[in-house]
């Protein structure tokens, strides 16, 4: 069974400490546990990087080995052409996730480049969005 890639972008390693009024107090390690529980027997490769090139490399890995991608590109959502171009090469389902509702925030957060290639977008559910996205991604893979 091909794995689901859960790819997290810049500053998400600081979850639990970073702006808890926006992102809550759940850590990325806790989110990883939530994702693995939601996936059940489906394999998950859970990753986080502050480096754009590393995220692109993981998308390439998913192109070759993955069944689906759940990506929270964080701030790179709004400016990364390399991530957009890499995602365009992926033939499986892509779920873009944002912990906060990006449309209720400052205007700079309203236009995600990743949304233009995502199969689905989840925003504003907080950390609970991750297991919801994992379950949805598994359903999309099964179609």
CA 2 to chain centre: 17
Phi, psi values for residue 129, rounded to 5°: -65, -30
Assess whether 98 carries a catalytic annotation.
Answer: yes
Assess whether 110 carries a catalytic annotation.
Answer: no
Distance, CA of 133 to CA of 122 (rounded, Å) = 7
Spot the catalytic one: 42, 53, 98, 109: 98
Q: How is the chain split among helix, strand and coil, in percent rounded to 5?
A: 50, 15, 35
Residues labelled catalytic: 23, 98
């Amino acid at each position: 069974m091909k794995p689901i890639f859960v790819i997290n972008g810049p500053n998400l390693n600081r979850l639990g400490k970073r702006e808890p009024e926006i992102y809550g107090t759940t850590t990325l390690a806790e989110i990883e546990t939530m994702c693995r529980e939601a996936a059940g027997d489906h394999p998950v490769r859970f990753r986080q990087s502050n480096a754009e090139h590393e995220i692109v490399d993981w998308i390439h890995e998913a192109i070759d080995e993955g069944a689906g991608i759940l990506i929270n590109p964080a701030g790179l959502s709004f400016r990364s052409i390399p991530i957009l171009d890499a995602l365009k090469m992926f033939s499986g389902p892509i779920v873009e996730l944002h912990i906060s509702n990006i449309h209720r925030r400052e205007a700079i957060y309203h236009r995600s480049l990743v949304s233009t290639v995502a199969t689905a977008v989840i925003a504003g559910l907080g950390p609970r969005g991750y297991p919801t996205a994992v379950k949805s991604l598994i359903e999309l893979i099964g179609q």
